[in-house]
Amino acid sequence: MRDSEAALDPELLEILACPACHGQLELHEQRLVCLSCQRRYPIEDGIPILLVDEAELPPDKSP
């Protein structure tokens, strides 16, 4: 497990939601991935960056 994954509290993960669609987030490697819209939010120094402008879109939804 990487440091950024270890630093994320499982209880925090349960209450976080995607800021774009309010879908459930799931931890994948060093990112939080929305199960609804598939946006991927980075985790920097153990802190989830839940800004829509910072999210990566899935390849089929890129402009």
Task: List, in sequence order, every residue forming a beta bridge with 47; answer none if it has no partner.
Answer: 44
What are the residue ranges spanned by the domains of the chain?
3-61
**For residue 60, what pLDDT is reported?**
78
Element (H, E) at 4: helix 3-7
**For residue 46, what pLDDT is reported?**
87
User: Residue 8's pLDDT band (boundaries 50, 70, 90)?
Assistant: confident
Whether residue 1 has pLDDT greater than 70: no
In 3-state terms the chain splits into helix, strand, coil percentages (rounded to 5) of 25, 30, 45
Architecture in CATH for domain 3-61: Single Sheet (2.20)
Q: Is the distance from CB of 23 to CB of 36 less than 8 angstroms?
A: yes
